[in-house]
Amino acid sequence: MIEAKGLTKRYGKTLAVDDLSFTVTPGKVTGFLGPNGAGKSTTMRMVLGLDNPTGGQVSIGGKRYRELHHPLRTVGALLDAKWVHPNRSARAHLSWMAKSNKIPMRRVDESLDIVGLTSVANKRAGGFSLGMSQRLGIASALLGDPEVLLFDEPVNGLDPEGILWIRRFMQRLAEEGRTVFVSSHLLSEMALTATELVVIGRGKLISQGSTDDFVAKATDSTVKVRSPQLDKLRTALASASADVADADDGLIVSGLDSAKIGEIAMQQSVVLHELSPQRGSLEEAFMQITGDSVQYHADIEAEARKALESSSR
Ligand SMILES: Nc1ncnc2c1ncn2[C@@H]1O[C@H](COP(=O)(O)OP(=O)(O)OP(=O)(O)O)[C@@H](O)[C@H]1O
């Protein structure tokens, strides 16, 4: 469990983290979301004792990082995947870490095996692809078999296969009962990976809770209905006070859930070809909740521009 209380970090005039309080519980993947520059990395560095808070505190299992007797056996982290001596092999890198942290040597091969690097264990880490470097970074985080794991932007720059691997891997770590805290500015990826979210903007907490609740609270729930008797259904739903809008090949209904719509259709002997609740996206929810987050809009626009530029090349 990670607990932050009133966590604050100031760099000169920049308030990078501003009175931030949140809890990350075991057995779940908790996403740490926020636009670039929101303060995610600074917060993670404070969790790991790499930066001192200007105010407040953060603890892991009730203790500050510096009070932990066996830090690597308590918390593992992937902050910068390229933090490896390029001439060292993956095995030599992990052996050095194990030795200097009094971790049993058998964990070196176990960790390499868990991340699927056994076959390249003796190769120079400097020649690894980004995906392999990420795996080695994850093996380092797992070396002490810790209960708490932190990953800072773990999928940045990875191909779809690498992204899927990391997503499944984190979910597996959470299923094992570990506390998994993962930062990202990629909302669609987090929507698929994390069941809990801590959302920050400009260093402040915006929301903490389940991903489903975050999306449900911020976006309208509607139901899509298709039927060969649309006119009859439209009239029946409107008289039940639903808001009904025409879609391409059916209706979009708000104000009634799919169970109620199904019952009304049956009462009216209307055949249904589709009855599907429409969930808003995490992107929509984020935009709705952080409406004033100019920086985030700017990020999205910049990303869209980049995508357009690369597709027109
Ligand atoms: N060492 C530092 N010195 C001065 N300012 C810093 C330092 N580290 C971070 N900042 C500033 O603090 C703010 C938060 O930065 P941080 O890197 O924590 O954000 P982030 O959410 O992790 O962003 P990103 O997704 O871009 O990594 C930014 O305005 C950043 O410029």
Domains in the chain with CATH codes: 2-216 (3.40.50.300), 220-278 (3.30.70.980)
Tell which one of 9, 11, 189, 204 to mutate to probe ligand 1, the residue whose CB is within 8 A of the most ligand atoms. 11
- Calculate how far, in angstroms, residue 237's C-alpha sits from the geometric centre of ligand 1: 51
Residue-wise pLDDT for 74-96, tens only, equals 999 998 756 667 788 999 999 99
| Whole-number average pLDDT of the chain | 87
- Ligand 1 atom 6: residue of nearest CA: 11
The pLDDT assigned to 298 comes to 47
Three-state DSSP string of 226-268: ECCCHHHHHHHHHHCCCEEEECCCCEEEECCCHHHHHHHHHHC
Q: If you write DSSP's letter for every residue of the chain in order, what string do you get?
A: -EEEEEEEEEETTEEEEEEEEEEE-TTEEEEEE--TTSSHHHHHHHHTTSS--SEEEEEETTB-GGG-SSHHHHEEEES-TT-S-TTSBHHHHHHHHHHHTT--THHHHHHHHHTT-GGGTTSBGGG--HHHHHHHHHHHHHTT--SEEEEESTTTT--HHHHHHHHHHHHHHHHTT-EEEEEES-HHHHHHH-SEEEEEETTEEEEEEEHHHHHHHHS--EEEEE-TTHHHHHHHHHHTT-EEEE-SSSEEEESS-HHHHHHHHHHTT---SEEEEEPPPHHHHHHHHTTT-HHHHHHHHHHHHHHHHHHH-
Q: For atom 23 of ligand 1, which residue has the closest CA? A: 37
pLDDT at 310: 55
Q: Is the pLDDT of residue 39 over 50?
A: yes
Looking at the CA of residue 17, tell me the nearest atom of ligand 1: 14
CB-defined site of ligand 1, < 6 Å: 11, 14, 16, 34, 36-42, 185
Closest by CA position to 191, among listed 299, 283, 277 = 283
Ligand 1 centre to CA of 40 (Å) is: 8
Q: What are residue 10's DSSP bridge partners?
A: 15
How high is the pLDDT of residue 160? 85
Q: What is the pTM of this model?
A: 0.80
Percent of the chain with pLDDT over 90: 57
Q: What is the pLDDT of residue 309?
A: 58
Ligand 1 centroid distance, CA of 228 (Å): 55
Q: Which atom of ligand 1 is nearest to the CA of 41?
A: 22
pLDDT higher than 60, residue 306: no
pLDDT, position 178: 97
Q: Compute the Cα dihedral for 188, 189, 194, 196 and give only its sign.
A: negative
Give the mean model confidence (pLDDT) for residues 66-72.
Answer: 91
pLDDT of residue 131: 84
Q: For residue 51, which atom of ligand 1 is closest to its CA?
A: 1
Distance 216 CA to ligand 1 centre (A): 30
For atom 11 of ligand 1, the residue with the nearest CA is 16
Residue 79: predicted pLDDT: 86
Handedness of CA 190, 196, 202, 203 (dihedral sign): negative
Higher confidence at residue 287 or residue 195? 195
Distance 80 CA to ligand 1 centre (A): 15
Predicted pLDDT of residue 300: 47
183: CA distance to ligand 1 center in Å? 13
Q: How far apart are CA 72 and CA 216, in angstroms?
A: 38
Find, among 167, 104, 91, 170, the residue nearest to 136 by Cα: 91
Structure tokens at 243: 């808001």
pLDDT surpasses 90 at 189: no
Q: Which residue has the higher pLDDT, 243 or 284?
A: 243
ipTM confidence: 0.95
Atom of ligand 1 nearest to the CA of 42: 18
- What residue's CA is closest to ligand 1, atom 18? 39
